[in-house]
A and B are shown apart, each in its own frame.
Chain A
Amino acid sequence: MSVPDYMQCAEDHQTLLVVVQPVGIVSEENFFRIYKRICSVSQISVRDSQRVLYIRYRHHYPPENNEWGDFQTHRKVVGLITITDCFSAKDWPQTFEKFHVQKEIYGSTLYDSRLFVFGLQGEIAEQPRPDVAFYPSYEDCETVEKRIEDFIESLFIVLESKRLDRATDKSGDKIPLLCVPFEKKDFVGLDTDSRHYKKRCQGRMRKHVGDLCLQAGMLQDSLVHYHMSVELLRSVNDFLWLGAALEGLCSASVIYHYPGGTGGKSGARRFQGSSLPAEAANRHRPGAQEVLIDPGALTTNGINPDTSTEIGRAKNCLSPEDIIDKYKEAISYYSKYKNAGVIELEACVKAVRVLAIQKRSMEASEFLQNAVYINLRQLSEEEKIQRYSILSELYELIGFHRKSAFFKRVAAMQCVAPSIVEPGWRACYKLLLETLPGYSLSLDPKDFNRGTHRGWAAVQMRLLHELVYASRRMGNPALSVRHLSFLLQTMLDFLSDQEKKDVTQSLENYTSKCPGTMELITLPGGLILPPVPFTKLPIVRRVKLLNLPASLRPHKMKSLLGQNMSTKSPFIYSPIIAHNRGEERNKKIDFQWVQGDVCEVQLMVYNPMPFELRVENMGLLTSGVEFECLPAALSLPAESGLYPVTLVGVPQTTGTITVNGYHTTVFGVFSDCLLDNLPGIKTSGSTVEVIPALPRLQISTSLPRSAHSLQPSSGDEISTNVSVQLYNGETQQLIIKLENIGIEPLENLEVTSKVLTTKEKLYGDFLSWKLEETLAQFPLLPGKVATFTVNIKVKLDFSCQENLLQDLSDDGISVSGFPLSSPFRQVIRPRVESKPVNPPESSKAGDYSHVKTLEAILNFKYSGGPGHIEGYYRNLSLGLHVEVEPSVFFTRVSTLPATSTRQCHLLLDVFNSTEHELTVSARSNEELILHAGECQRMAIQVDKFNFESIPESPGEKGQFANPKKLEEERQEARGLEINSKLDIHWRIPSLKRSGEASVEGLLNQLVLEHLQLAPLQWGGCGSLIFDEHGSGSRHFMVMRLVDSRFKGLEERGEPAHGNK
């Protein structure tokens, strides 16, 4: 016997073996349909007794195993059922002949046989035959089960007769020696008359009877026979058969103790079919009763007449512990015979099944360990696979999952051993998959995300490599890509640098044929392989949604402020709200994105690989809003530190957008990495509101861009900076081109300016514009340009220092702290290096040559499109940087009385601080030419001023402002008036630049008093003042009656000529 049946279990000893085989050409489908129906009749209660017969069906049974039938009767084929197709009567004799040939194979042991003929109708079918059944077709054969039952009953009759026949052999008769095939030649020429030989014959026969009793459902009887057999055989040292007798004893005891069966599924089925559990437990009784009822059968038993005494011992049955001991003993006897390897192996398997039920795993593992070392003859590869698989199953049965996995893996490797011509990669793969639980490896990457990997990395990696290889050889590249990705993703920490290279190399090779996807792969076995996103290639540490650049940030209109309030609570601060905000992880970020505008998300990533990592097609995964993602490709240097990556996209609709993750393509594997699944990631919220589209404004100016960037305190960012260099007093036009580069029409524009605080005092309007002209071109359609003109007028202080010109006397002699006492003295501009020469003066001198800076911001608030309807606008700021170079200075100012008391001369020392020739003119006077650095005095005849005539507009505000401020304002107003009268201009012919010069800053109280019209006027009660500066403003006459400063008495007179 050479083919072990690994599925055997102890209760198989009580079964009758029936072989069901097809004859001729029968389709597999039809055969197995009938086979299944036949198999359903696996136990029969014999009519006239309560005994139960169990049948074991096989559709394949090696005849050489049949030869061991005498050794253990359940190995003997006692019934044969043949199934055949036969469609015409002509074929019938041939078919019948085939049936006989088939019978010959197992002929020596068969009790009975049947032939089921399908398809034949007519005469032959009409003839009733005991061993042949005719059915018209495979569908029309209801009586199959009935036939089988009849057949089994006939088997029972033969079995019963054999049992009784053997049991009642007279002691005087010669008992034949039963032997196993390999023993036959050993007994040639042995003395058959010796006592030893007889005992051996008796013992073996007793054992055989025990087997028959067990099969015939007489459990208690069989136990008795086995016990007696053991004693007999032990005395003659017939070890092989002693082992068999012991095993028989074990089997019978197991059947007694474990009516549920030990063989797993088949046992359960048997259990269900038999009867209620309680009855099943007492199933041994019928047999025992029968023995008691029919003692004659035993007393007439020639082998040992005192069997009846044995029956009294209820302890015939072995205890669970004894069963194992006896199994051990039996196996040790078997192991003495090399040819009984299969018997030994099967006994081990049966014992393990019993131990598994007893939950004695340690002992079971010893049996299995023994089974591993049982050397059968050279096994075929297929048998090896079967053997390893069954070992694996048995280890699983006793709860040794790791050992089970080990053997399963060995079996898998055996499937593709190099000696096999056609390696079974599919089978190998399937078996490998089954080992996964044993190595506590799940193929779901989610199980590896939490914390560090804990497991047998080396072993798991090996298994994954094998899975990859097997799936590749199976011709399923998608599968190998998935496994390889999994290996790379989960075992990254355990791979050496070389391995990382190798793995990625092969992954790239595979993906070149079949790119990795994010789809579930369902295996034929129902196992689902979840996708493996490469969350570690690269590793993302932080995700941050970025606000739009300052110039594109949307703002809510002030008028809608009420709606814009984030909380409906009337309180500005509530600890509850603050607390809630901190808690929410996915809190909404407090800025907005705009539909149709490019929005950015910044990721901090790093590359854990020892080589450059190319990440392609990296983009964002979002929900809530239609989002057009603009994928990026990046290349990260080997083992880089944190590396910022900005992913961009354009929201296409409005609403609330949530950034869920990102997708990448690395080594040809497409991954969707969700932020929720990433461990240790820092995010400051991933939800942001997208508001309707707004136009985009781009401004370009006529002025060069500035390197200076303004840092306004309010936090607004300046998008563009321009700079210009002007001479003090000069005016320049700034032409701003407004281009709508968005896709929405620009409907609304507001311009405001803000002069950044400087120490310099500014006179006049620094920036002035007329918005109306620009607005006339609105709405500005996308792509259209509008121009907007701003006048820049710089008028800083023209005095060289504020408090220089204090003293003023009528004779024109004034004391000045100004170093240039002589107007004609040429001065070289003080330079830094000149300081040591004239230190006390240099600091002051530095002042007047100093280039002063003015900075202002122009704010463009614009809106349009759907965003405008929603009440949003955008703000664009233009920074203006003006460098003001000094043009002329008035180094000294004084007055001289003129011929008329109503007039006086204003004497101005004008200093040209430029490097160019410069002309100065005042009113209608001729031009005064000044060379660079030259100082000259110019005299201007002016009418004295009546400042009271200035409309006292600030007076209205007077109640709010303090008196000092009022006074200042008044002085300014006076300065303005004087200046407008003087109308001093300068011109630099070489540069073709010109501008105004203002005396406002240098008029102090003293000068003002001199310039002022005396409060009281003589010469009649009225005086004539002709305003000669004004453009023909002769029509008014101011009449001062008492005190022109006393406003209450002021009157407007008649036109001048009327009063003369």
Chain B
Amino acid sequence: MAVCVAVIAKENYPLYIRSTPTENELKFHYMVHTSLDVVDEKVSAMGKALVDQRELYLGLLYPTEDYKVYGYVTNSKVKFVMVVDSSNTALRDNEIRSMFRKLHNSYTDVMCNPFYNPGDRIQSSGNLGISLSCRAFDTMVTSMMIQVC
């Protein structure tokens, strides 16, 4: 069960960020923001590898006292960051990986919408053309946050 899911643009600004305990949202903002250092580092280390051999899943970025932060980067350098409660030991690496894959698919669906400008925030309050896609993305994230994998 994820507590925070974030999509970060190639230029490292957030496209989407949502966390379940909404009262302390800023904490997760800080957490995801600082995790980008690790993502950058991992991506630059990976840069030498061939594209088709590249693993999109970055694994555990760093653990904190209460949470674990995982990362995933697409070929277009869009990053997904997921914060998971560290008390949830049932969550295996494979499950995290599949959650990221789902997230990636959902994100691709949003990107496929002709009304979506790459680089815009994913928010359902936007224009009618993209709000449906964004809502679908939102619903998917919600399901990831609720469901105990």
**A455-B25 contact, Cβ under 8 Å, with A361-B41, A400-B37, A406-B30:** no
Give chain B residues whose Cβ lies under 8 Å from the Cβ of A440: 12
Give chain B residues whose Cβ lies under 8 Å from the Cβ of A458: 25-26, 29
- Asked if A362 contacts B42 (CB within 8 A), the reply is yes
B62 contacts chain A at the CB level, 8 A cutoff: yes
Contact residues, A403-447 vs B (CB, 8 A) = 403, 406, 439-440
In chain A, what residue has the closest Cβ to B64? A369
B14 contacts chain A at the CB level, 8 A cutoff: yes
Q: Chain B interface secondary structure, helix, strand, loop or mixed?
A: helix
In chain B, what residue has the closest Cβ to A406? B34
A456 contacts chain B at the CB level, 8 A cutoff: yes
- Give A401 to B39 CA distance when docked, in angstroms: 12
Give chain A residues whose Cβ lies under 8 Å from the Cβ of B45: 362
The CB with the most chain A CB atoms within 10 A, among B26, B30, B42, B45, is that of B30
Contact residues, B21-49 vs A (CB, 8 A) = 25-26, 29-30, 33-34, 36-38, 40-42, 45
Give chain B residues whose Cβ lies under 8 Å from the Cβ of A395: 37
- Asked if B62 contacts A456 (CB within 8 A), the reply is no
User: How many interface residues does chain A have, given as a range?
Assistant: 10 to 19
In chain A, what residue has the closest Cβ to B28? A458
- Give A399 to B38 CA distance when docked, in angstroms: 10
- Asked if B29 contacts A402 (CB within 8 A), the reply is no
- Give A365 to B35 CA distance when docked, in angstroms: 11
- Give A454 to B10 CA distance when docked, in angstroms: 11
Contact residues, A350-406 vs B (CB, 8 A) = 361-362, 365, 369, 395, 399-403, 406
Contact residues, A56-78 vs B (CB, 8 A) = none
- Asked if B34 contacts A402 (CB within 8 A), the reply is yes
Q: Mark B1-21, 1 if CB is under 8 A from A, else 0.
A: 000000001011110000000
In chain A, what residue has the closest Cβ to B32? A456
A462 contacts chain B at the CB level, 8 A cutoff: yes
A459 contacts chain B at the CB level, 8 A cutoff: yes
**A454-B33 contact, Cβ under 8 Å, with A365-B62, A459-B26, A462-B26:** no
Distance in angstroms from A587 CB to nearest chain B CB is 32
- Give A893 to B25 CA distance when docked, in angstroms: 102
- Give A401 to B35 CA distance when docked, in angstroms: 11
Among B14, B26, B41, B119, the residue within 8 A (CB) of A400 is: B41
- Asked if B26 contacts A402 (CB within 8 A), the reply is no
Give chain B residues whose Cβ lies under 8 Å from the Cβ of A454: 9, 11, 13, 119
Give chain B residues whose Cβ lies under 8 Å from the Cβ of A361: 41
Give chain A residues whose Cβ lies under 8 Å from the Cβ of B9: 454
**A456-B41 contact, Cβ under 8 Å, with A365-B62, A462-B26:** no
Give chain B residues whose Cβ lies under 8 Å from the Cβ of A459: 26, 29-30, 33
Give chain A residues whose Cβ lies under 8 Å from the Cβ of B38: 362, 365, 400
In chain A, what residue has the closest Cβ to B119? A454
In chain B, what residue has the closest Cβ to A373? B65
Give chain B residues whose Cβ lies under 8 Å from the Cβ of A403: 34, 37
Distance in angstroms from B36 CB to nearest chain A CB is 6
Distance in angstroms from B14 CB to nearest chain A CB is 6
**A456-B14 contact, Cβ under 8 Å, with A365-B62, A369-B62, A462-B26:** yes
Give chain B residues whose Cβ lies under 8 Å from the Cβ of A400: 34, 37-38, 41
Give chain A residues whose Cβ lies under 8 Å from the Cβ of B41: 361-362, 365, 399-400
**A401-B37 contact, Cβ under 8 Å, with A454-B11, A456-B14:** yes
In chain B, what residue has the closest Cβ to A407? B34
Give chain A residues whose Cβ lies under 8 Å from the Cβ of B63: 369
Give chain B residues whose Cβ lies under 8 Å from the Cβ of A399: 37, 40-41
- Give A455 to B25 CA distance when docked, in angstroms: 16
Give chain A residues whose Cβ lies under 8 Å from the Cβ of B36: 402
- Give A440 to B41 CA distance when docked, in angstroms: 17
- Asked if B26 contacts A456 (CB within 8 A), the reply is no
- Give A456 to B30 CA distance when docked, in angstroms: 9
Among A402, A439, A462, the residue within 8 A (CB) of B37 is: A402
- Give A440 to B30 CA distance when docked, in angstroms: 13
- Asked if A402 contacts B11 (CB within 8 A), the reply is no
Give chain B residues whose Cβ lies under 8 Å from the Cβ of A365: 37-38, 41, 62
- Give A456 to B31 CA distance when docked, in angstroms: 12
Distance in angstroms from A998 CB to nearest chain B CB is 74
- Give A400 to B61 CA distance when docked, in angstroms: 13
Give chain B residues whose Cβ lies under 8 Å from the Cβ of A401: 37
Distance in angstroms from B107 CB to nearest chain A CB is 18
- Give A454 to B30 CA distance when docked, in angstroms: 16
Give chain A residues whose Cβ lies under 8 Å from the Cβ of B62: 365, 369
Contact residues, B85-109 vs A (CB, 8 A) = none
Give chain A residues whose Cβ lies under 8 Å from the Cβ of B25: 458
**A402-B33 contact, Cβ under 8 Å, with A365-B62, A454-B9, A458-B25:** yes
The CB with the most chain A CB atoms within 10 A, among B12, B37, B42, is that of B37
- Give A403 to B30 CA distance when docked, in angstroms: 9
Among A362, A369, A456, the residue within 8 A (CB) of B29 is: A456
- Asked if B37 contacts A456 (CB within 8 A), the reply is no
- Give A282 to B47 CA distance when docked, in angstroms: 35
In chain A, what residue has the closest Cβ to B15? A454
- Give A362 to B58 CA distance when docked, in angstroms: 13
- Give A459 to B37 CA distance when docked, in angstroms: 16
15 contacts between A and B (CB under 8 A): A362-B42, A365-B41, A365-B62, A369-B63, A399-B41, A400-B37, A400-B41, A406-B30, A406-B34, A440-B12, A454-B11, A456-B14, A458-B26, A459-B26, A459-B30
Known: A403-B37, A456-B33, A459-B26; 14 extra A-B contacts, CB below 8 A, are A365-B41, A365-B62, A369-B63, A399-B37, A399-B41, A400-B41, A401-B37, A402-B34, A402-B36, A402-B37, A440-B12, A454-B13, A459-B33, A462-B26
Please report B residues at the A interface, Cβ cutoff 8 Å: 9, 11-14, 25-26, 29-30, 33-34, 36-38, 40-42, 45, 62-63, 119
Which 7 residue pairs are nearest across A and B when measured between Cβ atoms? A400-B37, A454-B13, A403-B34, A458-B29, A402-B34, A361-B41, A402-B37
